[in-house]
Chains A and B, each alone.
Chain A
């Protein structure tokens, strides 16, 4: 069965960086995009960007341009999302999701979410 398993919760200080991983199983990792979406407590879903694990091509929301980097390691079927220059407003649950040509921008399978807390 398809699964996306994310890394555990993180606590970071303002100005630091965080790298969240998303390990895929149950399908061919390079055949589907990975989207990253975040959600602050009590707020809506916010799309951050996408990555094609086959080519490594990425697309980032303008809001995160220059601060976010999405990468992958195909040998271990794992995608990564790194967010730098963290501020308190980046405190949120971060999700990875498996996208496709029919389900772009989101996904038919989602990770369990990773809570990132930014606090001094």
Chain B
């Protein structure tokens, strides 16, 4: 079972803002990375570290963290943002091991 919990699905109107959350004890000590995955494709890194975007990722994607919760926010969602999103961080063992969140399906209406 995953140690990082996400809501299974969220929806957002085109152009509006959506926040995706990821909860887990390890997030009190470590940042989460966030991945976008579209059907039949490999995951794509969208946010890492405190709030860093890889080259080519639109600035409508942003990350934040508070307590045991990490969040990915899409400000002004576009149709192409419809995808599954996964958080990723250390597991709770304290060792150099990792875990993915349960995943959130984002639907853009």
Contact = CB atoms under 8 A, between A and B. Distances in A.
Interface of A: 35, 37, 44-47, 50, 59-62, 95, 97, 102-108, 110-113
B96 to A, nearest CB: 5
A107 B45 contact: yes
B42 A106 contact: no
A21 B27 CA distance: 32
A46 B57 CA distance: 24
Interface stretch (B16-24, B58-66, B68-76, B85-93): B85-93
Nearest to B30: A104
B86 A45 contact: yes
A111 B96 contact: no
Given A35-B98, A106-B43, A106-B98, A47 B48 contact: no
A106 B2 contact: no
Given A44-B103, A45-B37, A102 B43 contact: no
A50 B86 contact: no
Contacts of B2: 44
A65 B48 CA distance: 27
* Among B42, B45, B97, residue most surrounded by chain A Cβ atoms (within 10 Å): B42
Contact of A45 (B43, B90, B95): B43
A112 B2 CA distance: 24
Given A104-B33, A106-B33, A111-B42, 8 more contacts: A44-B86, A44-B101, A45-B43, A47-B100, A60-B97, A95-B43, A102-B48, A110-B44
B63 to A, nearest CB: 13
B39 to A, nearest CB: 10
A12 B70 CA distance: 39
Given A95-B43, A105-B88, A106-B33, A37 B48 contact: no
